[in-house]
């Protein structure tokens, strides 16, 4: 994948929230096992950003 194949967004509407939660709560050492309520509260009032593939809905961690 090349840089011009990616787009950056700060819109929460562009995020695949289910995928982000699954990745964080299952794959990261610092958030493994995080309850969904905690995740939802954590992103509710925060600035978020994501790098996304222009080719489809696959998301890459920012």
List, as one string, the DSSP characters of 6-54: EEEE--GGGS-HHHHHHHHHHH-TTTTT--HHHHHHHHHTS---EEEET
Residue 62: inside a domain: no
How many domains is the chain partitioned into structurally? 1
Residue 61: inside a domain: no
Residue 6, token pair as written in the block = 């990616």
Q: Residue 2: what pLDDT? A: 55
The CATH number of the domain where 48 resides is what? 3.40.630.30
Residue 48: inside a domain: yes
pTM of the model: 0.70
Query: Whole-angstrom Cα distance, residue 52 to residue 55?
Result: 9
Averages of pLDDT over runs of 10 residues in the chain (62 residues) are 74 87 95 96 88 62 49
Residue range of the domain that includes 13? 3-56
Residue 35: inside a domain: yes
Residue 11: inside a domain: yes
Per the CB < 8 A criterion, the answer to whether 31 and 24 are in contact is yes
**Residue 28 dihedral angles phi and psi, to the nearest 5°:** -100, 145
């Amino acid at each position: 994948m090349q840089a011009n194949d990616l787009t950056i967004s700060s819109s929460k509407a562009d995020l695949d929230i289910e995928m982000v939660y699954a990745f964080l709560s299952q794959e990261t050492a610092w958030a493994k096992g995080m309850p969904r309520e905690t995740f939802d509260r954590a992103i509710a009032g925060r600035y978020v950003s994501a790098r996304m593939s222009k080719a489809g809905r696959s998301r890459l961690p920012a």
